Amino acid sequence: MTKIPMRYCPGCGHAIVHRLIAEVIDEFDIKERTIGIAPVGCAVFLDEYLNCDMIQVAHGRCPAAATGMKRVRPDVIVFSYQGDGDLAAIGTAETIHAATRGENFTVIFINNAIYGMTGGQQAPTTMPKQKTTTSVYGRDPKIHGYPIKVCEMLSALDGPVYLERVALNKAANVLRAKRALKKAFRIQLDGLGFSLVEILSPCPTGWGLTPRKACEYVDEKMIPYYPLGVYKDLTQKKPT
Amino acid sequence: MKGNEALAEGAVRAGCRFFAGYPITPQNEIPEYLSWRLFEVGGTFIQAESEISAINMLFGASAVGARVMTSSSGCGISLKQEGISYMTAAELPCFYASVVRGGPGLGNISPAQSDYFQSTRGGAQGDYRVICLAPNSVQEMGNFPKLAYDLADKYRNPAMVLADGLLGQMMEPMGFTFDFIDVDKLPPKDYILTGCKNRKRRIINTLRMDSDRLEKFNWKLYEKYKRIKENEVRYEERYTDDADIIIVAYGTAARVSIDTLVRGREEGIKIGLIRPITLWPFPRKIINELASRVENFLVVEMSIGQLIEDVQLAVEGKAKIHFHGRPGGNVPTGEEVLKAVKQALK
């Protein structure tokens, strides 16, 4: 990581995940081979915090850029870091198609069920009854439709090798998140294919909650709707 | 060779090793050809899920140093606009081909020149320019990719070929005027991302929140574009010395206008021709000079009037400008343009 102080809100999950990624990269000693892709969203400044080659890409298009990079330079380690709007709204097609092509890179999906950077609008992962600035009475499936469950959706494709959903609301989950990230990078290093780690992340500012309450919100509201766990893992042999 | 195929082969010979694109008529031969040809030279071909995805694949592939290409038509080029702007802001080279069909909307699949504004004024955000080359023959279709790549790399900017459906589909004898490029011998790029081994890490980020910083960057682009305007203008000039009227046309309209020129000269009408080869940078100087001594210009284009605005700017009111347009996918004939010449000279 660089020495630049992070500008994230108190209680934001980004700071935790940045640290986990940096640890994974250092533990594999791959900093000099790694290129990170920053999204549009609060993490647009990712390049200021992670001290490796970095590129910021148009909204939603990280998986396309990653595809271009890995096909030309398969030896480079590439990860994309995206929020819910980037990955599941404007970038839905790029996400699904990179996954189905089985491109050999790692997607880190920060799911905070809201659009943080632009002030708290509804996201594709905003849950029913959750209030946002563009659904002030709460998300109503009759008007706003239903959320997208990314891990579940991608698990229907043959392309992905590893899909897991984790959360940051308590220490045990943070450790589990790190294990998942490490596994995802391991899969890329082994040239096995596409991996995605979905990380349920608190957004105190977007949700109008204190950091502590935001962690409770992840626990009480998000995890029941977006169950944690492994949704696909081709590295595990099927039990006979 | 067919125009589209010549363009594709020319790109490969010029060092293209990554293509991403999406089918759209009348340029499908380009991705089809490259789907097997790139494989032969150790390159990558991807049929992307959309033109948006394709241009962003180019963004990534160019950022790691490859000579990259995409191609499309009309609405597909519209979809690529944001990505093109990003590449100018990141100062990344790329090459793309626009094989124009009738528009607006879904239009039709017949040749047109109604994307001149899209190509030279751009439909994307910011103060950027794209180097725009306009071939008028299969020979030029095959050889312009080399020029495009050289200019794109030299100036770290996207460069495009603007063709039309007729150029893409027609077949003519042609020959490549350059040797097959050895991509390993191309000059190294000191701005690409490769992993930060043995060097300081690099960042490509087009967000420049501080206004002073962004202003400085925009002036940097201004200076770059100024250098391109000074050094890279290209055009063809025919029979302008004694001309009473000069036709300005590019691409297929220029091929037709050459026919008009020959017919007219046989009848004693002193027609000259300026065929811009670079639409941006536009050959303003030569047209301005000619406007000092030639009273009439006839702009011939397959649109309702886009090239004509650049001609008006170049002429600076010093001469009369007439217009002959055929939009919607129709191609003018040499005879009808000759009628327009005669009408203009009345």
- How far B76 CA sits from the closest chain A CA (Å)? 16
Q: Would you call A103 an interface residue with chain B, using a CB distance cutoff of 8 Å?
A: no
- Interfacial B residues in 186-215 facing A (CB < 8 Å): 193-198, 201-207
**Which fold is adopted by the domain B236-345?**
Rossmann fold (3.40.50)
Mean pLDDT of all residues in B333-342: 98
Interchain proximity B196–A57, CB inside 8 Å: no
Number of domains in chain A: 1
CA pair distance B217, B327, nearest whole angstrom: 39
> In the predicted model, what is the mean pLDDT of residues B164-181?
97
DSSP state of A42: G
B52 CA: distance to closest CA in chain A (Å): 8
pLDDT of res. A215: 97
Say whether pLDDT at A87 is over 90: yes
Q: Are the C-beta atoms of B70 and B21 separated by less than 8 Å? A: yes
The answer to whether the Cβ–Cβ distance between A61 and B83 falls below 8 Å is yes
- Does residue B44 sit at the A interface (CB-CB below 8 Å)? yes
CB contact under 8 A, A44 and B207: yes
Nearest to A59 by CA among B93, B52, B50, B21: B52
On the question of a cis peptide bond just before residue B173, with omega within 30 degrees of 0, the verdict is no
Q: Does A238 reside within a domain?
A: no
> Residue range B2-10: average pLDDT?
98
Q: What is the mean pLDDT of residues B151-180?
A: 98
Could A57 and B59 be called an inter-chain contact, meaning their C-beta atoms sit closer than 8 Å? yes
CB contact under 8 A, B201 and A76: no
- Selected for mutation to probe chain A from B22, B35, B55, B59 (highest A CB count within 10 Å) is B59
B18 to A72: CB separation less than 8 angstroms, yes or no: yes
ipTM score for this prediction: 0.94
pLDDT of A237 over the 80 cut: no
| CB proximity B60 to A under 8 Å | yes
pLDDT for residue A240 is more than 60: no
Closest alpha carbon to A181 in A25, A34, A12? A25
Q: Tell me the nearest-neighbour CA distance from B34 into chain A, angstroms.
A: 15
Looking at CATH, the fold of the domain delimited by B3-194+219-231 is given as: Rossmann fold (3.40.50)
Q: Looking at beta carbons, which residues of chain A come within 8 Å of B53? A: 61, 64, 93-94, 97
Are the Cβ atoms of A35 and B207 closer than 8 angstroms?
A: no
Measured between CA atoms, the residue of chain B closest to residue A93 is B49
Cα-Cα-Cα-Cα torsion B192, B193, B194, B198, nearest 10 degrees, comes to: 90
Nearest to B61 among A52, A53, A69 (CB): A69
User: How many Cβ contacts (< 8 angstroms) between chains A and B?
Assistant: 128
What is the tens place of the pLDDT at every residue in B68-111? 999 999 999 999 999 999 999 999 999 999 999 999 999 999 99
Q: What residue ranges do the domains of chain B occupy?
A: 3-194+219-231, 236-345
Confidence bin at B7 (pLDDT 50/70/90): very high
Give whole-number Cα distances, A115 to A57, A111, A171, B7, in Å: 18, 10, 25, 43
Residue A239 has pLDDT above 80, yes or no: no
Q: Locate the chain A residue with the closest alpha carbon to B54.
A: A64
Nearest residue in A to B58, CA atom? A68
* Predicted local confidence at residue A236, as pLDDT: 84
Q: Which residues make Cβ contacts (< 8 Å) with residue B45, sequence separation at least 6?
A: B19, B20, B31, B34, B35, B36, B38, B39
Looking at residue A162, the DSSP 8-state letter turns out to be E
| Contact yes or no for B60 and A31 at CB 8 A | no
Residues on chain A touching B195 (C-beta within 8 angstroms): 32-35, 52-53, 76-77
CB contact under 8 A, A65 and B59: yes
Nearest CA in chain B to A103: B46
The pTM of the full predicted model, rounded to 2 decimals, is 0.95
Q: How far is B147 from chain A (nearest CA, A)?
A: 23
Mean pLDDT, rounded, of chain B: 97
CA-closest candidate to residue A116, choices A195, A7, A22:
A7
Closest Cα in chain A to B85 = A58
- CATH code of the domain in which A84 resides: 3.40.50.970
Measured over the CA atoms of residue B24, residue B282, residue B301 and residue B144, the dihedral's sign is negative
* Structural domain includes residue A157: yes
Distance CA A232, CA A61 (A): 23
Chain A residue with the nearest C-alpha to that of B206: A56
A238 pLDDT above the threshold of 90: no
Q: What is the mean predicted confidence (pLDDT) over B16-29?
A: 97
Name which of A34, A56, A97 is nearest B53 (Cβ-Cβ): A97
Residue-number span of the structural domain to which A160 is assigned:
13-233
B53–A contact, CB cutoff 8 A? yes
B57: chain A residues, CB-CB within 8 Å: 64-65, 67-68, 71
Scan residues 54-83 of A and list those with Cβ closer than 8 Å to B: 54-58, 61, 64-69, 71-73, 76-77
- Residue A144 included in any domain: yes
Helix or strand run (H / E) with residue B179: none
Q: Is A105 left (phi over 0), alpha (psi -120 to 50) or beta?
A: beta
- What's the average model confidence in pLDDT over A89-112? 98
B206 closest CA partner among B94, B98, B127, B118: B127
Q: What is the pLDDT of residue B185?
A: 96
DSSP state of A237: P
